[in-house]
Amino acid sequence: MLAKTREALIEKNDSLIKVRIEALKDTYESIHNKDYDHEVDRKVAKVLFPLYAEMIPADQRLSIYKVIEQKYKGNYDKFVDDMYDNSIFSNRENFEKFVKKPSVKAIDNDLALQYCQSKYDQFEKIVSQLEDMDKELTLLHKTYIRGLGEMKQPVPSYPDANFTIRLTYGNVKPYDYEGQVVYVLEQKYIFMLSGTRRGTTSSRRPGRLRTGWRSSTRRSTGTRTGSGAPMRSSRSASGGGSTRG
């Protein structure tokens, strides 16, 4: 957001500057919310910055680490304190001072912005390096899938989510899709009993199973459904496809 404000200041676009400043106010409030503790955040940063340096080789670190080495002589605590004390977003006083008199210089000297920008730059660098690898992986994936198909011949292979393993925790409840379709818990039950799959008929199912299903659906939905009839909610039909899970 500060970068966009910087662009507006360079363009000397007063109306756009006003818009950017208002957006910055919202950003400040979202950062300094009731759950944010500035000093706890400072303490965490003092631990994470040197830890990152220990884990990542020097030539692969964020560019902000060059600033830490050159300007702060590798003193992470000093760098963090400077950033958390003097950044535009550090406290209300700093922020109000900038809002009253915003400048490109203040933004360029903001350590928090420099740190954030170094993250974005590193991310773009990594993504560009992965693009070539993704192309190679795509070709290899095609070979892999073709090999799976040939391995299982003469049995045809096709994706079927019903054969994957899933774990579900909590209560299983109906799912309301944007107020249009209500998928209920009994859908698989409906398919099994209504005879809609592979030309089967409900008469082939045990009578006790059919009776139990009808009584349970009447209790849970208040709707009486016969064999082969999809369940309907008060808004729309719900007996479409089978549920997953």
Cβ atoms of 162 and 191 within 8 Å: the answer is no
pLDDT reported for residue 228: 38
Q: CA of 90: how far to CAs of 53, 116, 172, 220, in Å?
A: 24, 14, 46, 55
pLDDT reported for residue 197: 47
* pLDDT tens profile 153-168: 887 766 666 656 666 6
pLDDT reported for residue 162: 61
Tokens found for residue 138: 């795509």
DSSP line for 42-73:
HHHHHHHHHHHHHHS-GGGS-THHHHHHHHST
Report mean pLDDT in 10-residue bins for the chain, 245 residues.
82 86 90 92 96 94 94 95 94 92 91 92 89 86 84 74 64 72 59 49 54 54 41 38 40
DSSP line for 105-148:
HHHHT-HHHHHHHHHHHHHHHHHHHHHHHHHHHHHHHHHHHHHH
Cβ atoms of 22 and 6 within 8 Å: the answer is no
pLDDT reported for residue 208: 60
pLDDT reported for residue 174: 75
Q: How far apart are CA 191 and CA 168, in angstroms?
A: 21
pLDDT reported for residue 165: 62
- At which residue do the structure tokens 């997953």 appear? 244
pTM for the model stands at: 0.56
